[in-house]
């Protein structure tokens, strides 16, 4: 089981998103995602999200909120737990990323860009200010085959 984090950095009307278009053999190639990545040994979810955001964007999170957990499974890929964060309290200069192109995407456009179908489920929860959630997403290739949501 792979452990990862993802953060949706919020500037008020937009989220900072990454178009995954620079990394070889990337299951997310061509998709827009929040900012994040894999845990390093001994890291907490909070340490991981802060490190990943800094490495991929140059931004430093001053405060952040864990909003939920996603269980992601896809035939042919390792299952993954993804800790979902949001942050509207950050500073620093936005830097270029070697994994993809960074862009502020208006929240009103978020569900209409090239994202995973299942991402629409939890992004709606984030946009609606939902309580803590657990979402399970099952895929066969790029096709969402099953999903479930639990709110706490």
Output the pLDDT for position 65. 98
- Mean pLDDT within 95-113: 95
- Mean pLDDT within 84-113: 96
Query: Vertex 68, ends 12 and 152: CA angle to 5°?
Result: 110
d(CA 42, CA 48) in angstroms, rounded, equals: 10
Query: Above 80 in pLDDT, residue 16?
Result: yes
Query: Above 90 in pLDDT, residue 104?
Result: yes
Output the pLDDT for position 34. 97
Output the pLDDT for position 31. 92
Provide, rounded to the nearest whole percent, the portion of the chain with pLDDT above 90.
Answer: 88
DSSP-assigned letter for residue 123: H
- Mean pLDDT within 3-26: 93
For 42-67, how does the pLDDT look when each residue is reduced to its tens digit (9 = 90+)?
999 999 999 999 999 999 999 999 99
- Give the other-Cβ count within 10 Å of 68's Cβ: 22
Task: Quote the distance between the C-alpha of residue 151 and its chain's center.
Answer: 18
d(CA 32, CA 100) in angstroms, rounded, equals: 9
Are the beta carbons of 133 and 118 closer than 8 angstroms?
no
Query: Above 80 in pLDDT, residue 71?
Result: yes
2-151 has which fold? Nucleoside Triphosphate Pyrophosphohydrolase (3.90.79)
Query: Above 90 in pLDDT, residue 141?
Result: no
d(CA 8, CA 12) in angstroms, rounded, equals: 11
Domain boundaries of the chain, sorted by first residue: 2-151
125 to 49, 92, 106, 118: CA distances (angstroms): 20, 28, 16, 12
pTM above 0.85, yes or no: yes
- Mean pLDDT within 108-127: 96
Output the pLDDT for position 137. 97
Strand partners, 7: 35, 85
| Beta pairing class for 143-151 and 35-38 | unpaired
d(CA 123, CA 102) in angstroms, rounded, equals: 18
């Amino acid at each position: 089981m792979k452990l990862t984090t993802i953060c949706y950095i919020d500037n008020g009307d937009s989220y900072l998103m990454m178009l995954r278009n620079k990394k070889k053999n990337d299951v997310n190639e061509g998709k827009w995602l929040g900012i994040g990545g894999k845990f390093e040994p001994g890291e907490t979810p909070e340490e991981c999200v802060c490190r990943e955001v800094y490495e991929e964007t140059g931004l430093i999170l001053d405060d952040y909120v864990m909003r939920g957990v996603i269980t992601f499974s896809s035939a042919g890929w390792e299952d993954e737990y993804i800790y979902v964060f949001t942050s509207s309290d950050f500073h620093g200069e936005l830097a270029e990323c070697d994994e993809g192109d960074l862009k502020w995407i208006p929240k009103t456009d978020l569900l209409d860009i090239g994202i995973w179908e299942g991402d629409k489920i939890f992004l709606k929860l984030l946009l609606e200010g939902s309580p803590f959630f657990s979402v399970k997403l099952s895929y066969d290739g790029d096709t969402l085959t099953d999903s479930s949501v639990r709110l706490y």
